[in-house]
């Protein structure tokens, strides 16, 4: 399989506060890759750096062989990376449909809008029912679905999800993970950050463990799930 994303020796900081120290990470086409780590380990910073919200201090990021570090977020979206933040990710004062329209803002997605709509409505049928409602009036779970759907509208090759289960009830979380698998089966590569280690490890192919801005562990999901350190710190065993 080809590498779709590769991160080489990346350092990132907020002001003078270093958050990522020499991160190396790669994602192959078609995979679901999970990043685990405690609060403050630098997971969100990593995702923000990939999506261009934050510029890395040092290091390189390649997407499909092209160097993307230093590009602004809107160009990175155009290349095929969609980032779904843990909170937000929707325009509350626009209708569900308008939010999905904004998802097709990138030129190449505009032509395939109908096809894509069909896919996301099949993935999250509730959004079809709510399509004329203002996004701000949706429930927490529906908002999360909309933010993922919006990101999918732009035909991403790589979908980056920051804690999709954040703040959701367990039942909704299970549905969401099913959807994530379905998105992956349809051909989209996924990079996922989760605190909900158990469920995330069941869908992921491989995982990285981040601590204090460093990758301390990597491997396929089974190895990671059976690692004594992970068991103790993330699985509560």
Partner 1 sequence: MLELIIDGITFGLLLSLLGVGITLIFGLGEILNLAHGEFAVICAMLALIFMERGVNTLLSIILGLLITGLIGLALERSLISLVYRARGETRILLGIFITFGLSLAIHSYLVNTIPKAFFSVKLPFEAIRIGGLIIRPSTLLSAVISVLALVLLEVFLKKTYTGKAIRAIAQDEMDAQLCGVNPAPLRTLVFILGAVMAGLAGILYGLIATVAVIIGVDFTLLALIVAIVGGVRSIYGNILSGVILGIVHTIASFFLGAYLSLVILLSVTIIIILTRPEGILGEKG
Partner 2 sequence: METILRGESITKKFGGFTALKNVEFNIKRGEILGLIGPNGAGKTTLFNIISGAFPPTAGRIFFEGRDVTGLKPHQICKLGIARTFQIVRPFNNMSTLDNVLSGALFGKDAVSDLKDAYERSLSIINFVGLEKKKNKLAKELTLHERKMLELARALATNPKILLIDELIAGLTPLEVQETMRLIGKIRDELGVTIFWIEHVMRAVMGLADRIIVLAYGEKIAEGKPFEIANDKRVIDVYLGGGLIE
Number of C-beta neighbours around residue 102 at 10 A: 14
User: Do 23 and 46 contact (CB within 8 A), yes or no?
Assistant: yes
Q: Does 93 bind partner 1 (CB under 8 A)?
A: yes
Question: Which partner in partner 1, partner 2, none is near 150 (CB below 5 to 8 A by kind)?
Answer: partner 1
Token pair of 175 as six digits: 């549905």
Segment contacting partner 1 (CB under 8 A): 22-30, 67-75, 180-188, 199-207? 67-75
- Give the residue, chosen from 170, 185, 187, 228, that forms a contact with partner 2 under the rule CB under 8 A: 170
Query: Using CA atoms, how far apart are residues 141 and 34, in angstroms rounded to an integer?
Result: 21
Q: Restricting to residues 137-156, which ones interact with partner 2 according to CB under 8 A? A: 140
Beta carbon of residue 196, minimum distance to partner 2 (angstroms, whole number) = 4
* H helix or E strand, kind and range, residue 125: helix 125-129
Let me know how long the chain is. Answer: 237
Beta carbon of residue 100, minimum distance to partner 1 (angstroms, whole number) = 10
Q: Does 228 bind partner 2 (CB under 8 A)?
A: no
* Helix, strand and coil in the chain, % to nearest 5: 40, 30, 30
Residues of this chain that interact with partner 1 (CB under 8 A) are 51-53, 72-75, 77-78, 82-83, 85, 88-94, 98, 101-103, 105-106, 110, 150-151, 154
């Amino acid at each position: 399989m080809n590498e779709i994303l590769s991160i080489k020796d990346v350092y990132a900081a907020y002001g003078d506060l270093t958050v990522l120290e020499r991160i190396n990470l790669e994602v192959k086409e078609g995979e679901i890759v999970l990043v685990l780590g405690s609060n403050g380990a630098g997971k969100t910073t990593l995702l923000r750096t990939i999506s261009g919200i934050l510029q890395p201090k040092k290091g390189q990021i390649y997407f499909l062989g092209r160097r993307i570090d230093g590009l602004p977020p809107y160009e990175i979206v155009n290349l095929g990376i969609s980032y779904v933040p843990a909170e937000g990710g929707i325009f509350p004062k626009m209708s569900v449909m308008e939010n999905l329209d904004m998802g097709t803002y990138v030129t190449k997605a505009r032509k395939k809008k109908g096809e894509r709509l069909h896919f996301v409505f099949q993935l999250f049928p509730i959004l079809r029912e709510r399509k004329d409602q203002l996004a701000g009036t949706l429930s927490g779970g529906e908002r999360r679905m909309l933010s993922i759907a919006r990101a999918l509208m732009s035909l991403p090759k790589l979908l980056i999800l920051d804690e999709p289960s954040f703040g959701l009830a367990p039942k909704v979380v299970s549905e969401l993970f099913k959807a994530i698998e379905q998105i992956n089966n349809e051909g989209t590569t996924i990079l996922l950050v989760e605190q909900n280690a158990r469920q995330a490890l069941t869908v992921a192919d491989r995982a990285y463990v981040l601590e204090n801005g460093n990758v301390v562990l990597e491997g396929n999901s089974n190895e990671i799930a059976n690692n004594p350190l992970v068991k103790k710190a993330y699985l509560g065993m």
